[in-house]
A and B are shown apart, each in its own frame.
Chain A
Amino acid sequence: MSPKKDVHQGTLALMILKTLQTLGPLHGYGIARRIEQTSGDLLSVNYGTLYPALLKLEQEGYISSEWGTSDNNRKARYYKLTRAGHKQLARQAQDWTETTAILARFLNEEPS
């Protein structure tokens, strides 16, 4: 098994937004778990970067948070997407798709 990769800089925010869109309101631990699972456990989320990233998104107005209760009755802070967050996700997702498509074309070019 190859060593787990850290989340690529700048993509963590997008992953958080996407996770919240898919799963609805979720706490920090849940978000981290989900990202790790979705990547097929190839990625490892560093919590030291997760919480600052959440705070930053909140400051930017893309997500909002409130205290709630988890399934197993633990108090936790739940994050959810705002309207601005939905728009931002759509924009960023498109950017990424385009970027990766372009990169893929470059990388797939056969040497002549």
Chain B
Amino acid sequence: MSAFRSTVARLRNLFRSDVPDHDLHAELEAHLQLHVDDNLAKGMTPEQARRHALLKLGGVEQTKQAVHDQRSLPFFESLLQDTRYATRLLKNSPAFTCVAVITLGLAIGANTATFSVSNTYLRNPISFPEVDRVVAVLNQAPDQTSGWSSVTSADFLDWRARAHSFEAIGAFDWADLNLTGIGEPVKVQGYRVTANFFDVLRASPLVGRSFVNGEDQAGHAPVAILSTSFWRRQFAADPAIVGKIVRLDGVPTQIVGVMQDNVRFPLAAEIWLPLIFSPQEQTQRTSHALLPIARLKPGVSMTQAQAEMRTIQDGLRSSYPQQETGWTVLLMPLGEFVAGPGRGYMFLLLGAVAFVLLIACTNVMNLLFARSTGRQAEYAIRVALGASRWRLVRQALIESVLLGMAAMLVGLLLGDWWSYLIRAAMPPDIARFIPGWDQVRLDRGVFLYTFLIALLAGIIAGFVPAFFSSSADPNNALKESGRGPGMSVSRTRLRNAFVVAEIALSLVLIVGASLMVKGLQSLLALNFKYDPQAVFVFRVSLPASRYPQPQQQNTFFENLAENLRHTSAGQTTAVAYQMPFAGWDTDSFRLEGRPLSPGEYQDAYINRVSPNFFDALHVPLIEGRAFTDHDAAGMVPVVIISESIATHFWPQGTAVGHRIRQGDDNSKEPWATIVGVSAEMNYDPWRKDAPPAIYFPLRQRPVSTASVFVRSSLDPKALVPIIRTAVANADPDQPIFDAMTLDRMISNDLLGLSYIAVLMSAVGLMALVLSAVGASGVMAFAVAQRRQETGIRMALGARPQDVLRMFVFSGLKLLALGFAIGLPLAVVLARLISSLLYGVQSNDFLSFLASAMLLAVAVVLACYIPARRASRIDPIIALRYE
């Protein structure tokens, strides 16, 4: 307690320590007087009395200093002193301070913005109690090296029966539903979930109740739970919603509850229904569609649970070798599962902005170095007067940390603005699929992060210059101070090393940015051949209750296409089960007479299309023919495969005529004859190793949910009413959804990638500018420093172009070194990006060359300007120059 009180008192005094110690002075004076009085009383003469008293008192100044030290905290006091001094110095050189603060501020701002976006995305994409104990329990297909696969219903039931690591294990499955009975029919994003799904998440209802045991058993009356946002939007937050009956896909369903607003899992969920397994589903081990999630028991670690699941999977493998061979179980924290493939890119961006910060630090380091060289004499005098080396280092560090703190303010402002821009540019119908997007803000974590990187940046930028300037030998420095900025060889080397590092880092970033842009371009170029601006897409989902027969579904789509053909809308109308760039349904397949060895796995997007699908999307057929209306039910089953299957299995000769079948060895599907080979289409831009595609004719394989493509020259606005009428003529109860041009749909799918490409480019540009500025600064300094030398050279006959060449050449040497270090690093980054993004090759020579050229031009220009100045020096003036 007393120690605390004393510290408080001293801290208080710290900020008043410049008040002269009047009191103490008077007190010591009084002390002296009292002593003198005593001495006089003892009979001394006045001089003797005073002399004796002074002797006894000892050094008055030492006493004052001792009291002063006790009064405040000497360490902090000198720190404060140094800070005041540093502030004054920075204020006195506003140009230097501005450049340094802006340089650091830009980089810190980029870090703040990126961190604020990625923080929520990576750390809290979803919020549930103890969500870090919740895991997704997934499969990995044989030979699948990255990502995960869904799970079969029989596997899930076995896991649930056998696993002891979990408090609860549930599962969910995607379900597109049509909601009717209240106004216009609407399409609803639903999910079927096991009854314990919300227990696993520890999610609780806002109104009504959660699912109860037994509601996911066959025969139970249909029930549903709404999400808060859907309840607000569709039911105007009706407080009496519980108990109401709605029709979902025609089935009367009772609403039993509304989940709380924070329950956004799966992210786009509007409605949850119980997941009921049919008897076939309970035993099927081939269709991977379920996504199980589980909460770990207290005390059970991920590793333990993973180990248990491995054992269980081993058991299943020996019981069902045919279906389970090669399949493994993968546990993934729910946050990671939700963040999905965007994670890799987020880390990439975070790394990139960290690089930019390093470059900015290097620039400021160089500035500080140049400054400290001009202050050699000052340092020398301080050392000569007894300043310790530590004090000098501290002084310099305080200066750079102050710069860092000022830059932090700039960075926070910029970061806030940038993260606002990033968010504002994201369309809301995409943003709702990005986990945590609406949570992005400058919160405590972001502030702390910004503060820490600003502090670190200040220390990094200041440390090396501080260390070097403090090591000056006062003797030499004072002698040299008369002869302009003296620079030892090691210092010049160090500054050059900074430039080399900058060039290397920039090269890495620019190569990264150009690869991202190139990848995106190649993806977009892929689309141009579909001529996507002229194709309008919408989706229709037919409820099984209304269209129980597959042929009825087919008739609907054919009627719809026919209706559209008779409007002013379109020349070509096509129907497809899956859309390019948004594929999701893959399955395994077999070739006739070519059984798989255990552990081998082959899958493809299974698409079902109308005859003119390839025509409407301008996808060329490489071989064979397209489907016709004669490829109907009851006729010979036919199939079209994509190019890569054909070249893989029939490298010589033709694939046409061979037979192929969807599913595994026990598949009940009929063998279908290959009648054509289509060009490859991209079904998933996020997946580098996206599987090929297999197309079946709709007449032989009808679907209930499909996308309808209309190739039309009409404006989308004019098109929508025509489409609505055509759909209503086919069935007035059917809603259409996701209506937009194919162009828009593709750019929506690629939006995340465009974002990252744009951000990477911005980061690359920043790196380019910063390193050019840095190189220019170092060169300008070298020119100034070698002024006399230049003068002598010119006096001895060097021509201006010789001087120019000399300086530019020294810049080129740095450039070459920077490239030598940067290129291998860039190759590593390129490998990383190419593993993430479709269309990026890590050995993309052209991108490397272009990036290197760009950087080289920038750096040479940056060196040329000061070098030119050097070449115009008048030798007489240069020699006189001190």
Seen from chain A, the residues whose Cβ lies within 8 Å of a Cβ on chain B are 27-30, 33, 46-49, 51-52, 55-56, 59-62, 70, 72, 74-77, 84, 88
Contacts and interface: CB of A to CB of B under 8 A. Distances in A.
Interface in B70-85: 70-71
B37 A51 contact: no
A55 B59 contact: no
Interface string B44-76: 000000000000111100110011011100000
Nearest to B70: A52
Given A55-B70, A60-B2, A48 B31 contact: no
A59 B30 contact: no
B6 interface: yes
A84 B33 CA distance: 31
Interface in B704-740: none
Interface string B832-874: 0000000000000000000000000000000000000000000
B160 interface: no
B423 interface: no
Given A47-B31, A55-B71, 7 more contacts: A29-B34, A46-B58, A47-B58, A51-B28, A56-B70, A75-B30, A77-B27
A77 B21 CA distance: 14
Contacts of B35: 29
A61 B62 contact: no
B24 interface: yes
Contacts of A60: 2-3, 5-6
A52 B5 contact: no
B519 to A, nearest CB: 67
Contacts of A75: 26, 30
Nearest to B8: A59
Interface of B: 2-3, 5-6, 9-10, 23-24, 26-28, 30-31, 33-35, 37-38, 56-59, 62-63, 66-67, 69-71
Nearest to B62: A48
Which one of A55, A62, A72 has the greatest number of beta carbons of chain B within 10 Å?
A55
Contacts of B59: 48
A48 B63 contact: yes
13 contacts: A28-B27, A28-B31, A29-B30, A30-B34, A47-B31, A47-B57, A48-B66, A51-B24, A55-B70, A74-B37, A77-B26, A77-B30, A88-B2
Given A55-B71, A59-B6, A77-B27, A48 B58 contact: yes
A76 to B, nearest CB: 4
Contacts of B69: 52
Contacts of A74: 30, 33-34, 37
A91 to B, nearest CB: 11
Contacts of A51: 24, 27-28, 63, 66-67
Nearest to A53: B70
Nearest to B30: A76
Contact of B67 (A29, A33, A55): A55
Contacts of A33: 38
Nearest to B23: A77
Contacts of B30: 27, 29, 70, 74-77
A105 B9 CA distance: 41
Which one of B9, B10, B24, B27 has the greatest number of beta carbons of chain A within 10 Å?
B27
A77 B24 CA distance: 9
B5 A70 contact: no
Nearest to B37: A72
A59 B67 contact: no
Nearest to A75: B30
A40 to B, nearest CB: 18
Nearest to A72: B37
Which one of A77, A84, A88 has the greatest number of beta carbons of chain B within 10 Å?
A77
A56 B70 CA distance: 7
Contact of B34 (A27, A55, A88): A27
Contacts of A27: 30-31, 34
A55 B511 CA distance: 65
Contacts of B57: 47
Contacts of B5: 59-61
A60 B3 CA distance: 7
Nearest to A55: B70
B415 to A, nearest CB: 43
Given A60-B6, A62-B2, A70 B34 contact: yes
A53 to B, nearest CB: 8
B751 to A, nearest CB: 64
A63 B710 CA distance: 93
